[in-house]
Amino acid sequence: MIISVTGLRTKGLVSYLRFWLLAVPAFRQAQAAKGNLFCQTKSHNGVQHTLTAWKSRKHMKHYVLSGAHRKAMGQFAKIATGAIVTFEAEEVPSWQDAIAKWESDAKWY
């Protein structure tokens, strides 16, 4: 399976509010997306994280490039900084392991 760990830090109060207006629909889209096996969010050290697991990269890319997630990506630079790490795994990692992987290997945007 494909695991994706994303972490975003908003740029201020207005950005924080805009982030949530975009994040909630994108999260709901992920939960319902074909090929999604797991989807959770967590705040850690002021960073809003998502942890998702996908049947394949094809399923993950279809989600990333469509609907509410695509709309959110279009606003990303205006509201947040962030990093993402994607990797293959046999099982969904714990939050502790997912955040450790994100902290060590994520690519910042």
Average pLDDT of 87-92? Answer: 98
- Tens digits of residue pLDDT in 40-56: 999 999 999 999 999 99
- Answer whether residue 108 shows pLDDT above 90: no
Q: What is the pLDDT of residue 27?
A: 95
Q: What is the pLDDT of residue 109?
A: 82
Chain-wide mean pLDDT for the chain?
95
The CA distance from 61 to 43, in Å, is 24
- Answer whether residue 21 shows pLDDT above 90: yes
Average pLDDT of 77-94? Answer: 96
The DSSP bridge pattern shows strands 47-54 and 36-44 to be antiparallel
Question: Any idea how long the chain is?
Answer: 109
Name the one residue in this structure whose structure tokens are 């392991």: 97
Q: Please state the pTM of the whole predicted model.
A: 0.92
Domain boundaries 2-108, corresponding CATH code: 3.30.70.100
